[in-house]
Amino acid sequence: MPAPFSTLPEFRATLAKASGPDAAALAGAQDRNGQLTKPPGALGRLEDLAIWYAGWRSNPRPTIAAPQVIIFAGNHGVCAQGVSAFPAEVTAQMVANFEHGGAAINQLSKAFGAKMDVHALALDTPTADFTRAPAMTEAEVISALQTGWNAVDPDADLLVTGEMGIGNTTSAAAIAMALFGGQAGDWTGRGTGVDDAGLTRKTDVVAKAVSLHRHDDGLEVLRCLGGRELAAMAGAIAAARAHRIPVILDGFICTAAAATLAVAQDGALDHTVAGHLSAEGAHHKLLDALDKEPLLKLGLRLGEGSGAALAIGVLQGAIACHSGMATFAEAGVSDA
């Protein structure tokens, strides 16, 4: 279904009316889990993941057959402040690499059987420099949210959203600080590898931006401090819930985008899990604020959805065990 909103109040209302997991499917999955040929709790967190997934798919014995990975790309006006080690034109160059199958996310998507789509959002028109003005107008942020929403395949049964955008760790740090407080240095890291002087400059930029744009509302924070690719990820994550598609969150930037939904509407991320803990220093603080425990910790800091895509395999393993194992009765094994 096309995006059912054309203003931020309408998008907020869409978030508010989203349904929760299927109680009957949750109960059925919990019951099945208790009958499988294993000691109680022997599969640890895989059991919880399988039950969580079953509830969102309305099926106590689900499968994962059609995962989707979507990469969104955008350019940031704040790059004029010297916050990145790479020039803005790298965004378009990497989009071409995605489209030709040459990036890490292409390989990981292929490895786990995921369909991968790429959406570049107005790369020739960067967002405004948010140290001087809001990054986006309402029309611009709505357009990006709609792009994300409409990019989700309703027939997918698992979603990963990733991003590409030079300067977007600065945007993510500003969003995190605006949403959860603290000092700019708590949230600002080296991103693509800025030197010490660059890190100091970047931290100052984050502090200045948050001081300029003070909002309690998550969606206004997204508009003023985000980028088109962050807004598109937020739109896709919201759409996935409407379609009852579970989501694996990627690293710091994806999690910052998702956090704007969580602040805008309680429970907006109940259909999501954190795929991994990024090496970007503040990611753990952001996950703690959202009460999300990562599935993997491998020192990744690439973005592109790469950590979340790798975590598809963990969820596939959880579902394979839950839905494929025999029960004690089926296997003729005595249940102590």
Kindly state the average pLDDT of the residues 101-128: 98
Q: Which residues of 195-226 are buried (b: 16+ CB within 10 A; e: fewer)?
A: eeebbebbbbbbbbbbeebebeebbbbbbbbb
Residue 198 has pLDDT above 90, yes or no: no
Residue 303 has pLDDT above 80, yes or no: yes
Nearest one of 162, 171, 167 to 209, comparing CA atoms: 171
Query: Tokens in use for 136?
Result: 């986006």
114: left (phi over 0), alpha (psi -120 to 50) or beta: beta
Residue 1 has pLDDT above 80, yes or no: no
Q: What pLDDT was estimated at residue 85?
A: 87
Kindly state the average pLDDT of the residues 262-270: 98
> Are 175 and 262 contacting, i.e. CB atoms less than 8 angstroms apart?
no
* DSSP class of 239: H
Q: What pLDDT was estimated at residue 191?
A: 84
Distance from C-alpha of 36 to C-alpha of 45, rounded to nearest angstrom: 15
**Band of the pLDDT at 212, cuts 50, 70, 90?**
very high
Residue 336 has pLDDT above 70, yes or no: no
- % of the chain residues with pLDDT over 90: 93
Residues labelled as active-site residues? 304
Cα-atom radius of gyration of the chain, to the nearest Å? 20
Q: Chain-wide mean pLDDT for the chain?
A: 96
Query: Tokens in use for 153?
Result: 């395949």
- Residue 148: Cβ-neighbour burial (10 angstroms; 0-12, 13-18, 19+): buried
What are 10-42's pLDDT values in tens digits? 999 999 999 999 999 999 999 999 999 999 999
Torsion of CA 61, 65, 66, 67, to 10 degrees: 80
> Are 177 and 282 contacting, i.e. CB atoms less than 8 angstroms apart?
no
Distance from C-alpha of 122 to C-alpha of 127, rounded to nearest angstrom: 9
- Residue 139: Cβ-neighbour burial (10 angstroms; 0-12, 13-18, 19+): exposed
What are 319-330's pLDDT values in tens digits? 999 999 999 999
Residue 335 has pLDDT above 80, yes or no: no
Provide the whole-model pTM: 0.97
Residue 64 has pLDDT above 70, yes or no: yes
Q: Is 113 helix (H, G, I), strand (E, B) or coil?
A: coil
Distance from C-alpha of 14 to C-alpha of 210, rounded to nearest angstrom: 27
Kindly state the average pLDDT of the residues 188-199: 86
Distance from C-alpha of 83 to C-alpha of 198, rounded to nearest angstrom: 6
What are 131-187's pLDDT values in tens digits? 999 999 999 999 999 999 999 999 999 999 999 999 999 999 999 999 999 999 999
Q: What pLDDT was estimated at residue 75?
A: 97
For the chain, report the end-to-end CA distance as a whole number of angstroms: 49
What are 67-108's pLDDT values in tens digits? 999 999 999 999 999 998 899 999 999 999 999 999 999 999
What are 229-255's pLDDT values in tens digits? 999 999 999 999 999 999 999 999 999
Parallel, antiparallel or unpaired: strands 158-164 and 67-73: parallel
Q: φ and ψ at 281, to 5 degrees? A: -50, -35
Single-letter residue type at 257: A
Residue 286 has pLDDT above 80, yes or no: yes
Query: How far does Cα 39 stand from its chain's mean position?
Result: 34
